[in-house]
Amino acid sequence: MRIQHRVFREPGRELTRQNYQRLLAAAQKQRQTRLGLLMEAICSTGIRVSELRFLTVEAAVAGRAEIRLKGKIRTILLAGKLRKKLLRYAKKEKISSGEIFRTKEGKSISRQQVWREMKGLCKAAGVEKGRVFPHNLRHLFASVFYQSSRDIVQLADLLGHSSINTTRLYLLTTGEDHIRQLDRLGLVS
Protein backbone atom coordinates (compact mmCIF):
# COMPACT_ATOMS: atom_id res chain seq x y z
CA MET A 1 0.00 0.00 0.00
CA ARG A 2 1.35 3.42 -0.93
CA ILE A 3 1.39 6.06 1.79
CA GLN A 4 0.09 9.47 0.77
CA HIS A 5 2.46 12.36 1.29
CA ARG A 6 2.12 14.31 4.51
CA VAL A 7 -0.92 16.59 4.40
CA PHE A 8 -0.82 18.23 7.84
CA ARG A 9 1.89 19.67 10.03
CA GLU A 10 2.51 18.52 13.60
CA PRO A 11 0.50 20.92 15.81
CA GLY A 12 3.27 21.34 18.42
CA ARG A 13 5.80 22.55 15.84
CA GLU A 14 3.93 25.35 14.10
CA LEU A 15 5.03 28.90 14.86
CA THR A 16 2.04 31.23 14.71
CA ARG A 17 2.08 34.95 14.10
CA GLN A 18 1.15 35.41 17.79
CA ASN A 19 4.12 33.25 18.87
CA TYR A 20 6.37 35.33 16.62
CA GLN A 21 5.06 38.60 18.09
CA ARG A 22 5.67 37.30 21.61
CA LEU A 23 9.24 36.30 20.69
CA LEU A 24 9.90 39.78 19.30
CA ALA A 25 8.47 41.39 22.44
CA ALA A 26 10.65 39.14 24.65
CA ALA A 27 13.76 40.04 22.63
CA GLN A 28 12.95 43.73 22.99
CA LYS A 29 12.28 43.40 26.72
CA GLN A 30 15.60 41.56 27.20
CA ARG A 31 17.39 44.21 25.10
CA GLN A 32 18.39 41.64 22.50
CA THR A 33 18.14 44.09 19.63
CA ARG A 34 20.26 42.07 17.20
CA LEU A 35 18.23 38.92 17.77
CA GLY A 36 14.90 40.73 17.38
CA LEU A 37 16.01 42.40 14.15
CA LEU A 38 17.50 39.15 12.86
CA MET A 39 14.17 37.37 13.43
CA GLU A 40 12.32 40.20 11.68
CA ALA A 41 14.76 40.02 8.75
CA ILE A 42 14.29 36.27 8.29
CA CYS A 43 10.53 36.40 8.79
CA SER A 44 9.93 39.38 6.49
CA THR A 45 12.09 38.11 3.62
CA GLY A 46 11.86 34.33 3.89
CA ILE A 47 15.63 33.89 3.73
CA ARG A 48 17.39 30.92 5.26
CA VAL A 49 19.60 31.41 8.33
CA SER A 50 22.59 30.52 6.16
CA GLU A 51 21.66 33.47 3.92
CA LEU A 52 21.89 36.09 6.69
CA ARG A 53 25.43 36.90 5.58
CA PHE A 54 23.99 38.42 2.41
CA LEU A 55 22.15 41.07 4.45
CA THR A 56 24.85 43.69 4.26
CA VAL A 57 24.91 47.43 4.76
CA GLU A 58 25.23 47.74 0.99
CA ALA A 59 22.15 45.54 0.47
CA ALA A 60 20.15 47.62 2.97
CA VAL A 61 21.14 50.82 1.16
CA ALA A 62 20.19 49.32 -2.22
CA GLY A 63 16.98 47.76 -0.89
CA ARG A 64 17.88 44.35 -2.27
CA ALA A 65 20.19 41.49 -1.40
CA GLU A 66 21.69 39.07 -3.88
CA ILE A 67 21.68 35.58 -2.43
CA ARG A 68 24.34 33.33 -3.98
CA LEU A 69 23.97 29.75 -2.78
CA LYS A 70 23.63 26.24 -4.15
CA GLY A 71 24.77 27.36 -7.60
CA LYS A 72 21.87 29.82 -7.85
CA ILE A 73 21.49 33.57 -7.54
CA ARG A 74 18.26 35.17 -6.42
CA THR A 75 17.40 38.70 -5.45
CA ILE A 76 15.59 39.44 -2.22
CA LEU A 77 13.83 42.77 -1.94
CA LEU A 78 13.92 44.50 1.43
CA ALA A 79 10.79 46.33 2.57
CA GLY A 80 11.19 49.99 3.52
CA LYS A 81 10.69 49.46 7.26
CA LEU A 82 13.21 46.62 7.34
CA ARG A 83 15.77 48.67 5.38
CA LYS A 84 15.46 51.55 7.84
CA LYS A 85 15.79 49.25 10.84
CA LEU A 86 18.82 47.49 9.36
CA LEU A 87 20.56 50.77 8.57
CA ARG A 88 19.72 52.24 11.99
CA TYR A 89 21.09 49.13 13.70
CA ALA A 90 24.26 49.14 11.55
CA LYS A 91 24.87 52.81 12.37
CA LYS A 92 24.34 52.23 16.10
CA GLU A 93 26.74 49.27 16.03
CA LYS A 94 29.25 51.24 13.90
CA ILE A 95 29.00 48.80 11.00
CA SER A 96 29.77 50.84 7.89
CA SER A 97 29.99 47.99 5.38
CA GLY A 98 29.61 44.25 5.04
CA GLU A 99 27.45 41.88 7.05
CA ILE A 100 25.00 43.44 9.45
CA PHE A 101 24.51 40.40 11.70
CA ARG A 102 27.87 39.67 13.31
CA THR A 103 29.27 38.36 16.54
CA LYS A 104 30.95 40.78 18.95
CA GLU A 105 34.25 39.75 17.35
CA GLY A 106 32.92 40.79 13.92
CA LYS A 107 32.52 37.26 12.54
CA SER A 108 29.47 35.81 10.79
CA ILE A 109 26.79 34.70 13.20
CA SER A 110 26.33 30.91 13.08
CA ARG A 111 23.11 28.98 12.61
CA GLN A 112 23.69 27.30 15.97
CA GLN A 113 24.05 30.65 17.71
CA VAL A 114 20.81 31.94 16.21
CA TRP A 115 19.06 28.70 17.22
CA ARG A 116 20.42 28.91 20.79
CA GLU A 117 19.48 32.59 21.20
CA MET A 118 15.96 32.00 19.90
CA LYS A 119 15.47 29.06 22.26
CA GLY A 120 16.61 31.37 25.08
CA LEU A 121 13.58 33.60 24.46
CA CYS A 122 10.99 30.82 24.81
CA LYS A 123 10.35 31.03 28.53
CA ALA A 124 10.09 34.83 28.61
CA ALA A 125 7.87 34.78 25.50
CA GLY A 126 5.63 31.98 26.79
CA VAL A 127 6.20 29.98 23.60
CA GLU A 128 6.89 26.23 23.61
CA LYS A 129 10.49 25.40 22.65
CA GLY A 130 9.31 22.86 20.07
CA ARG A 131 7.85 25.70 17.99
CA VAL A 132 10.94 27.90 18.06
CA PHE A 133 13.73 27.41 15.56
CA PRO A 134 15.01 29.73 12.83
CA HIS A 135 13.61 27.77 9.88
CA ASN A 136 10.10 28.20 11.31
CA LEU A 137 10.42 31.94 10.63
CA ARG A 138 10.82 31.04 6.94
CA HIS A 139 7.72 28.83 7.16
CA LEU A 140 5.77 31.68 8.79
CA PHE A 141 6.85 34.04 5.99
CA ALA A 142 5.67 31.50 3.41
CA SER A 143 2.25 30.99 4.99
CA VAL A 144 1.61 34.71 5.56
CA PHE A 145 2.77 35.59 2.03
CA TYR A 146 0.58 32.88 0.52
CA GLN A 147 -2.47 33.89 2.58
CA SER A 148 -2.00 37.44 1.29
CA SER A 149 -1.22 36.74 -2.38
CA ARG A 150 -2.46 33.19 -3.14
CA ASP A 151 0.45 33.03 -5.61
CA ILE A 152 2.46 29.86 -5.02
CA VAL A 153 4.63 30.44 -8.12
CA GLN A 154 5.84 33.81 -6.87
CA LEU A 155 6.33 32.35 -3.39
CA ALA A 156 8.47 29.54 -4.83
CA ASP A 157 10.61 32.15 -6.58
CA LEU A 158 10.98 34.21 -3.39
CA LEU A 159 12.01 31.15 -1.38
CA GLY A 160 14.43 30.00 -4.07
CA HIS A 161 12.63 26.73 -4.76
CA SER A 162 12.90 25.17 -8.19
CA SER A 163 9.85 23.00 -7.48
CA ILE A 164 6.42 24.13 -6.35
CA ASN A 165 6.14 20.78 -4.54
CA THR A 166 8.86 21.96 -2.17
CA THR A 167 7.02 25.25 -1.61
CA ARG A 168 3.81 23.34 -0.95
CA LEU A 169 5.44 21.72 2.11
CA TYR A 170 5.88 25.19 3.60
CA LEU A 171 2.13 25.75 3.43
CA LEU A 172 1.05 22.73 5.45
CA THR A 173 -1.16 23.60 8.41
CA THR A 174 -1.98 21.64 11.53
CA GLY A 175 -5.34 20.66 10.13
CA GLU A 176 -7.32 23.10 12.28
CA ASP A 177 -7.85 25.40 9.28
CA HIS A 178 -8.94 22.40 7.24
CA ILE A 179 -11.53 21.42 9.89
CA ARG A 180 -12.88 25.00 10.01
CA GLN A 181 -13.18 24.98 6.20
CA LEU A 182 -15.05 21.66 6.31
CA ASP A 183 -17.40 23.03 8.97
CA ARG A 184 -18.10 26.13 6.84
CA LEU A 185 -19.23 23.90 3.98
CA GLY A 186 -22.36 23.16 6.00
CA LEU A 187 -22.77 19.69 4.58
CA VAL A 188 -23.65 18.03 7.89
CA SER A 189 -27.08 18.88 9.29
Annotated active-site positions, please?
Answer: 48, 70, 135, 138, 161, 170
Long-range CB pairs of 40-44, under 8 A, 24+ apart, other chains included: 40/82, 40/85, 41/82, 41/86, 41/101, 42/134, 42/137, 42/138, 42/141, 43/137, 43/138, 43/140, 43/141, 44/79, 44/82, 44/141
Sign of CA dihedral 35, 71, 154, 181: negative
Phi, psi (rounded to 5 degrees) for 67:
-95, 120
Question: What radius of gyration do the chain's Cα atoms show?
Answer: 18
Q: How many CB atoms lie within 10 A of CB 175?
A: 13
Instruction: Count CA atoms closer than 13 A to 60's CA, side-chain side.
Output: 24
